[in-house]
Amino acid sequence: MKEIKTDKGIMSKISDSRRGFMKGLATVAAATPVVGALFKAKDADAALADHTMYLRGSYFESCTCETICPCLLLLDPTEGFCKAVLGWDIEKGHVGTVDVSGLRVAMWLNAPGNLLKGQFEMAVYIDERASRSQFNALREAYHGIHGGHLGVIASLGKGAEGQPREYLPTKSARIHMTQEGPNRHLKIDGILENKMEQLKGSSGAITVRGTPLAVAPPFAITVSRAIKATFTDHGTNHSWEGGNGLSSPFVYMDGGAKQTAIEV
């Protein structure tokens, strides 16, 4: 009886993780104004006054899961793990008093199991056009220091409970991102590439919304198919074809779920 009380079964642990993760998402959502109101002409000025972090633009990613990625539904990844290449094109934004408009960020993410179990391996790449202050500001944002939805994602990174999240060293890179019709292309020469094409439905692009997991809630997610995805850095060499692809607008603001982080 004592062992049963002190050692939770795996299903109980996953249930607790799911509740904690969903609570984190709910806390961020509750503190976030209606996103549509942020697309007015003076949204960046208003956000500067009210938020220590505000990032707006478009993002896309592909991963090793089959379409549609079961991770969106908090189910186990298709291959038992989920490796992904992501890119963000920041149209408008600031972190603290640093303007980061017009810059790009890319990421390599490796989830070793169900995403709710965390322990992600993550590597962040920041636009080589960024100044030192812009580089440091975006590294803070994508390490979850300012919280909000980026803080929720960061909370799933490597590290012991109650300790800083662990990231691979952040690098400056020339990030190529193009979005032409149904096609999306992200590339950092010699490091990563993601080519994907939106899937066609009966009346245009296929979209999903309301999934419990999303990189850019509350926007609808457009579903794509990965043509080619590769990553070669930090001692890892991985490539795949025909995986899942996702894209959407995004708006990230500061909020709860603030993290601390170290690079290892």
pLDDT in tens, the chain (264 residues): 333 333 444 334 444 555 555 555 544 444 444 343 444 445 556 556 678 999 999 999 999 999 999 999 999 999 999 999 999 999 999 999 999 999 999 999 999 999 999 999 999 999 999 999 999 999 999 999 999 999 999 999 999 989 999 999 999 999 999 999 999 999 999 999 999 999 999 989 999 999 999 999 889 999 999 999 999 999 999 999 999 999 999 999 999 999 999 999
- Are 208 and 219 in contact, with CB atoms under 8 Å apart? no
pLDDT computed for residue 50 by the predictor? 76
The three-class DSSP label of residue 49 is helix
Cα-to-chain-centroid distance, residue 105? 10
Measured between alpha carbons, how far is 70 from 79 in angstroms, rounded to an integer? Answer: 10
pLDDT computed for residue 139 by the predictor? 98
pLDDT computed for residue 9 by the predictor? 43
The three-class DSSP label of residue 158 is strand
Q: Count Cβ atoms within 10 A of the Cβ of residue 19 and give its class: 0-12 exposed, 13-18 middle, 19 or more buried.
A: exposed
- Are 226 and 196 in contact, with CB atoms under 8 Å apart? yes
Residue 240 in tokens = 């795949």
- Strands 121-127, 171-173: pairing kind: parallel
DSSP H or E segment with residue 92:
strand 82-95
- Are 147 and 256 in contact, with CB atoms under 8 Å apart? yes
- Are 262 and 144 in contact, with CB atoms under 8 Å apart? no
Q: Which residues contact 15 (CB under 8 A, 6 or more apart)?
A: none
Cis before 218? omega within 30: yes
Backbone φ and ψ of 39, nearest 5°:
-100, 15
**CA–CA distances in Å: residue 38 to residues 32, 96, 100, 119, 250:** 11, 18, 17, 33, 11
Measured between alpha carbons, how far is 150 from 129 in angstroms, rounded to an integer? Answer: 22
